[in-house]
């Protein structure tokens, strides 16, 4: 069966860029300005405090993993009152070795592995909009293992490191997303997949993209009335059913057009349009340019 999470991550095309070891002791705090790219943080030992813009502050403990799909401004600190040092991640130089905040001597109160990566897909904004702003995972051993591998790969700088890190980032994403999918998750794809009624409909949309879906048909796969399904999907996913389907079709179409292995007619058929002209009209309205021009520009 088609797995929507796997498809989303494949289309996002995550690529590892940078990771570093961080430690803090005594009174310390760092305030990072808005970054826009996805970033992550794993607590290797100790505890610290994380305050992300628009979210309630949380305490991070050893074994915790945090993913910020779009990384708004945030502050990470110890527990003593302090004025945080301001850092712009877009201009800060890459550090060599472990970065130490607060008291320089003695053992640290906390050790972290922090890093960021990029999504190569131009459709990243659509996908990220379907994810929570903050994903916090605690006590998942598989994630802890992956974090150790990222740390080792980053520090050893062996041949093939870029490829290995890219694959590890993909695995980190998958493990994080499926570990946080629940009915308590903010509206988005993860919450939709955690809904026993909506998940079959979402999988059907992904599995049979070419089918001329109607809300009534999707409601039937969810064993709900049309109105109940529409309201529940919109409230849970944050998009109306046909909006989600159109966005997903256009994301897949853009991926196919970038590959330039299929004609526009073939791309249209792959994403559920009966003719190239109908697809071109929809694509132009959604993307802002005809599919042929998009393919050439890509």
Using one digit for the tens of pLDDT, what is the confidence trace for 236-294? Answer: 998 999 999 998 899 889 888 988 889 999 999 999 999 999 999 999 998 889 999 98
Of residues 126 and 146, the one with the higher pLDDT is: 146
Determine the pLDDT at residue 131.
79
Of residues 125 and 88, the one with the higher pLDDT is: 88
3-state helix, strand, coil in the chain (%, to 5): 45, 20, 35
Of residues 117 and 245, the one with the higher pLDDT is: 245
Domains detected in the chain: 4-180 (2.60.120.280), 190-297 (1.10.10.60)
Our CA dihedral for 232, 238, 239, 245, rounded to 10 degrees, sits at -90
Q: What is the pTM of this model?
A: 0.74
pLDDT-derived band at 96, boundaries 50, 70, 90: low
Q: Which whole number is the average pLDDT over 133-154?
A: 85
Q: How far apart are CA 149 and CA 172, in angstroms?
A: 11
Residue 290, token pair as written in the block: 């005809």
Q: How far apart are CA 160 and CA 269, in angstroms?
A: 38
Q: Which whole number is the average pLDDT over 7-34?
A: 86
Residue 45, token pair as written in the block: 């030992």
Determine the pLDDT at residue 167.
84
Question: Which positions ≥6 away from 278 have C-beta within 8 Å?
Answer: 268
Residue 46, token pair as written in the block: 């100790």
pLDDT tens digits, one per residue of 44-95:
899 999 999 988 999 999 989 999 988 999 999 999 999 999 988 777 656 5
Residue 240, token pair as written in the block: 């109306």
How crowded is the C-beta side of 90, counted as CA atoms within 13 Å? 8
């Amino acid at each position: 069966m088609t797995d929507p999470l796997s498809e989303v991550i494949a289309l996002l095309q995550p690529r590892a860029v940078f990771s570093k070891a961080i430690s803090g002791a005594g009174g310390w705090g760092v305030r990072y300005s808005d970054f826009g790219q996805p970033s992550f943080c794993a607590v290797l030992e100790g505890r610290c405090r994380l305050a992300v813009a628009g979210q309630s502050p949380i305490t991070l403990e050893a074994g915790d993993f945090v993913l910020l799909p779009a990384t708004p401004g945030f502050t990470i600190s110890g527990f003593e009152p302090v004025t945080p040092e301001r850092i712009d991640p877009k201009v800060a130089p890459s550090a060599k070795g472990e970065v130490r905040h607060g008291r320089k001597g003695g053992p640290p109160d906390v050790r972290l592995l922090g890093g960021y990566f990029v999504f190569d897909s131009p459709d990243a904004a659509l996908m990220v909009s379907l994810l929570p702003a903050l994903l916090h995972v605690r006590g998942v051993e598989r994630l802890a293992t992956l974090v150790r591998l990222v740390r080792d790969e980053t520090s050893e700088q062996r041949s093939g490191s870029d490829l290995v890190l890219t694959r590890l980032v993909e695995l980190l994403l998958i493990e994080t997303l499926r570990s946080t999918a629940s009915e308590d998750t903010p509206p988005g794809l993860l919450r939709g997949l955690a809904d026993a009624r909506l998940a079959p409909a979402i999988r059907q949309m992904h599995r049979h993209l070419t089918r001329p879906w109607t809300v009534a048909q999707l409601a039937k796969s969810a064993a709900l009335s049309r109105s109940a399904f529409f309201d529940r999907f919109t409230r849970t996913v944050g998009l109306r059913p046909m909006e989600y389907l159109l966005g997903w079709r256009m994301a897949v179409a853009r991926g196919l057009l970038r590959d330039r292995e299929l004609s526009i007619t073939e791309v249209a058929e792959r994403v559920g349009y009966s003719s190239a002209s109908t697809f071109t009209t929809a694509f132009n309205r959604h993307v802002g340019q005809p599919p042929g021009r998009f393919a050439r520009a890509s």
